[in-house]
Structure 1
Amino acid sequence: MRFYRCLFVLLALLVIGLHAAEVESYEFPSCAMTCDEQLFSDCSLNNTSCFCASSSRSTSLLDCVSSNCTVKEYFTTYKLYEKECDITPLQGPPMVNAATLIPFILGTFFFITRIIAKSSGLAGGWGWDDYTIIVAFILGVAIYALNCAMIRYGFGQNIWDVPFDDITKFYQLFQGLAVMYKIQISLAKISVCLFLLRIFQTRSFRYVAYGLIVVNAAIGITWALVDSFRCLPTRLTWTGWMGEESGQCINFIVSILINCLVNIFVDSVLILMPVWEVIKLQLPLKKKIAVALMFAVGSLLTIIAIIRVVVFWNNRWGINQTTGLYPLIHWSVIEVQISVMCACLPAFRALAGRWFPSLLGSARRTYASHTMEGYNRHTGGNSNINKSISYSVNYASRSENSVVELVDVDAKQRP
């Protein structure tokens, strides 16, 4: 038994050694050497001090290799060129990045406070808006995890510095993240629409809200299918980078651009709807501003969506997609976490009003009602009615219904 274990270890070491020897024995592909001989007779790759002194030589060589060699040969040539000329490879981002971790923590915090508020009977109780945001939150966690896994497989590095097997794995993870993103964003917006339907009851508002629910559902389903079947056969989505199989793929850049612009338009309508309804309410100006600002926080999501489309357009990728896709996915991960946070803000406000009423100005306030003294003076003081009753208005939510509670503070004094 011990003999077999030793034999297994030796075989494993032999395989590792062969793999290492294979890596160390990399040489320029034959087609790259042919290009080198055709382009440079006096200053070839064999003379690195001469060849690496001019960037134009490397550009000409790589252009020739790109036109006459396979994709794998091009990547190998580029990687060995950087090695021969002592060019430091691009380092990828850390797996745990503060720019994505902080929104993830915030989204998780506000989601947990929403669950606590609902379990405590606050914020209107459980409804379909809660069930949709739960699914959206789970998808947001999965998207964050996929982003970390993509970084592990070379996301953010130059694609020619990434092992071939890792490139295929990267595209598989990107495919899953793209589909989840489309569904998650649509569910988060549908959750907000369902929540608003529980507050505003005007017919016009409800028509628009239901229309947005249908539009968001259509957007999520349509683009999830587009991302799932953007190549035929579908395996070309993660193997097409090699250029070894024939098939058809849609223009992914155009697809993403259209999706970004449609989402920005829907976000704008979703923000203006509740703000317009609040403006029409008979509320004090300060109260209107406070409530409108709470709904207008959703504009942060629109700002992020605009940033996302700008960085996408400025970093439209070519063959180096592990680097070109990074800004787009980076802001997509931030966007999904902010969408959860915005959808959970009203429930957080209800919970904060219960635990810290003075913080939100929901403490008990006492107001005197109109007394009958003026009436007595008007009638010459002959009336026997001469009484005042004081009420306190409790603004804190005591039930799932939004009802203002009046408490008679003089009840104990009356016979």
Structure 2
Amino acid sequence: MLLRRVLILASVSLAVQAASDSPVSETTMPQCAVLCQKEALGNNVTECAVTNTSCLCNDAAFQGNVTACVSTTCNGREQMIAKRLSDRQCGIAPHKGRPENDPGTIVPLILSTLLVANRFICKLMGLGGTWGADDVTIGIAYILAVSIFGTNISMIRYGFGQNMWDISPLDHITIMLKYFYAFTLQYKTQISLAKISVCLFLLRIFQSNVFRYTTYTVIGLNAAIAVTWVLTDSLHCIPVHLAWDQWETLEPGQCVNFIDVTFANAFVNIGVDTVMVLMPVYEVLHLNLSSRKKLSVSVMFAMGLLLTIVAIIRVVVFWFNRWNTNPSVQLQPIVYWSVVETHIAVICACLPTLRAMLVHLFPKLFPNAGDNSTANKNTPSGRPTFASSSQALNRSQINKTVSYTVDYQDDSKKRPQRHSFVQLVEIDPREP
């Protein structure tokens, strides 16, 4: 037994001497880690022979003892190097994350690009009403979505999706975390802008006071959410630079719990998404339209549930991949779904103009697209009533535009309301 301990100490001493004589590099086991192995072997933590690498790798007690020692005696960079070299010695393959050219993020990018282009083309052709603040905000939201897509690619190039200790050179970890810092700020801003764009669009259609007050409240809520979470994420570490170099620095500071902040933001967004879907659907269901048209328009607005579904998936994925000591792997699933969510938000905001273009190109598929519904006056009970009109055209007439508008007028206050014409559909002009 004594001879065994002497041999162990002698072999480890040689390893320590070799480590101390070599310059610090990512290919040499740090001296602090070697000393931890020496201590574990000298304390008879394992029954494995010092030369039996396979046995030592599978000995949970030995590995746990060494890991605990390394975490307290080595700095962040040394811990990463020790873990990487230990994995290589034990034959543990590096983790491979999602690729840069991931179809799961490229397809939503292509779809959002096509729908934004379609939206602006519709505006130029006069199919989707006049230009408004909703077009400006969705344009900015789309630019941010593209930037978020690019930021994700940059993160992957610098090791995002790999084990943190497998990222080489280790300086790439800091660069990757800087990109992640920018990613979170862009994400919080983009999601709120896309939702504000939808609200501004709805304000151009529905004119009831209750609906407008509710919509303005939701706009204010989305703006407050954006400001609050951007400030929270930008200052979640004090000093700020700890957000990207805390892994290797011993500088004192504080960081808020990323898990709690992310869950809080996700649940708030899901609640707002649900309200935004129910608002227009409720209004449409109370219009004096045919059941078929109610269903058609309601389904279009209800497509916003896709955003809610993606947000829920994002929460579930994050729950099962909560941040631990390997955030570059654990955070990639939620980043993936965040990229998808930003483009789904843009797609949902552009669906009405997609319908307008489809009606323009394929009028026979939408035979009742010319029905209009407008509010005439309030009933004694205070609920608006709607008159539905469908104008029949003979072949010698030209139907230039057909719009859906909902114009509420409050007779009791005797003040004019602005009549917003928002073109959701247009039928092709027909020559006599």
TM-score (normalizing by structure 1): 0.82
Report the CA distance between 1:363 and its aligned residue: 7.2
Segment of structure 1 superposing worse, 195-204 or 91-100: 91-100
The answer for unaligned runs of 5 or more in structure 1 is: 1-20, 366-389, 406-411
Tell me which residue corresponds to 1:349.
355
Matched, 1:229 2:235: yes
Tell me which residue corresponds to 1:293.
299
Tell me which residue corresponds to 2:140.
135
Tell me which residue corresponds to 1:266.
272
Q: Distance in 2 between matches of 1:238 and 1:402?
A: 47
Q: Distance in 1 between matches of 2:366 and 2:78?
A: 64
Q: Distance in 1 between matches of 2:276 and 2:219?
A: 10
Q: Distance in 2 between matches of 1:209 and 1:25?
A: 56
Change (3 A) 1:284 1:399: closer
The structure 1 residue matched to 2:223, chosen from 214, 217, 220, is 217
% identity of equivalent residues: 46
1:92-136 deviation digits (Å, cap 9, x = unpaired): 221110111111111111111001001111111200000000000
Q: Distance in 2 between matches of 1:23 and 1:91?
A: 27
Tell me which residue corresponds to 2:385.
none
Report the CA distance between 1:299 and its aligned residue: 0.2
Segment of structure 1 superposing worse, 390-399 or 53-62: 390-399
Change (3 A) 1:61 1:397: farther
CA contact (8 A) 1:350 1:397 kept: no
Report the CA distance between 1:362 and its aligned residue: 4.8
One-letter amino acid matched to 1:144: F
Report the CA distance between 1:232 and its aligned residue: 1.4
The 5 A counterparts of 1:367-378 are: none
Matched, 1:78 2:83: yes
Instruction: State the aligned residue count.
Output: 364
Matched, 1:199 2:205: yes
Report the CA distance between 1:187 and its aligned residue: 0.3
TM-score (normalizing by structure 2): 0.79
Structure richer in helix, relative to its length: 1
Q: Distance in 2 between matches of 1:86 and 1:31?
A: 22
CA contact (8 A) 1:168 1:238 kept: yes
Q: Distance in 1 between matches of 2:233 and 2:154?
A: 19
Report the CA distance between 1:67 and its aligned residue: 3.0
Q: Distance in 2 between matches of 1:45 and 1:349?
A: 71
Q: Distance in 2 between matches of 1:269 and 1:282?
A: 23
Matched, 1:334 2:340: yes
Tell me which residue corresponds to 1:40.
41
The answer for unaligned runs of 5 or more in structure 2 is: 1-21, 372-390, 404-420, 427-431
Change (3 A) 1:137 1:77: same
Matched, 1:91 2:92: no
CA contact (8 A) 1:78 1:160 kept: yes
Q: Distance in 1 between matches of 2:135 and 2:334?
A: 28
Change (3 A) 1:66 1:203: same
The 5 A counterparts of 1:10-409 are: 26-41=27-42, 43=48, 46-162=51-167, 163-362=169-368, 391-392=392-393, 398=401, 401=421
One-letter amino acid matched to 2:134: D
Report the CA distance between 1:290 and its aligned residue: 0.8
Change (3 A) 1:345 1:25: closer
Change (3 A) 1:395 1:281: farther
Q: Distance in 1 between matches of 2:370 and 2:90?
A: 74
Instruction: Report which of the two structures shows the higher radius of gyration computed on alpha carbons.
Output: 1
1:34-92 deviation digits (Å, cap 9, x = unpaired): 22122224636654233124344323322331233222222111101111111111122
CA contact (8 A) 1:122 1:397 kept: no
